[in-house]
Amino acid sequence: MPSPAAGRPARADARKNQDALLAAARTVFARSGVDAPAREIAAEGGVGVGTLYRNFPTRSDLVAAVFTTEIDATAAAAAEFLATEAPGAALEHWIARFTRFVATKQGLSAALRSGDPAFDALPGYFAEKLGPAMRSLLDAAEASGDVRPGVDPLDLLQAVGDLSHRAPSADGSPNAMVRLLLDGLRTREADAATQRPASS
């Protein structure tokens, strides 16, 4: 064991608990919504409620932390997909991932609107992190001709988010309305053909 840099072990422990709680909260929020009992989250994380309260004094702190964490992870996935897939596929996959992220947040949008100051920074964080991520995917897809230009990344994100809201969606793929929206996003080569013929 080549102890790296004589760090204080207590820190490691604290960090471990924080991570465990974050993961637990993610799980529980998805299962029972953001109003799930604190005890359920602590139990899922394998710690006592006291520890939960020490690390996240208020529920909104925890919610915000989970939200932030997931935004980070989701944003990071964009670069990863772009690096390993064709632009169209990357965009599609990433939206599917974003969709699952949203679906996981039972009751979050209601919480956001609650006026709790702990949430004030969240929309900004969302825009700051996911806006550029979406932008990069759209740029690539526009360049490759997969989607038409002129779409605002945040508008799209919001729309997809809203449409994903009620859809736990069987296999993890976006629900019908999202697919509809995405279809509309593609370039209109074929679309035009569909629309031109003799209308009924």
Partner DNA sequence: AATGAATGAGACTTCATTCAT
Partner DNA sequence: GATGAATGAAGTCTCATTCAT
Rounded to whole angstroms, how far apart are CA atoms 104 and 124? Answer: 20
Q: Which amino acid is at 168?
A: P
Residue 86 CB, nearest approach to a copy of itself (Å):
22
Rounded to whole angstroms, how far apart are CA atoms 192 and 174? Answer: 25
Residue 109 CB, nearest approach to a copy of itself (Å):
5
Q: Residue 172 binds which entry of DNA, a copy of itself, none, with Cβ cut-offs from 5 to 8 Å by kind?
A: none
Cβ nearer to a copy of itself, comparing 52 with 81: 52
Cβ nearer to a copy of itself, comparing 81 with 98: 98
What φ, ψ does residue 13 adopt, rounded to 5°? -60, -50
Residue 193, number of CB atoms within 10 A of its CB: 9
Select from 17-25, 50-58, 118-126, 163-171 the region that touches a copy of itself (CB under 8 A).
163-171
- Cα–Cα nearest to 21, from 41, 37, 35: 41
Q: Residue 84 binds which entry of a copy of itself, DNA, none, with Cβ cut-offs from 5 to 8 Å by kind?
A: none
Q: Decide: is 172 part of the binding site for DNA (CB under 7 A).
A: no
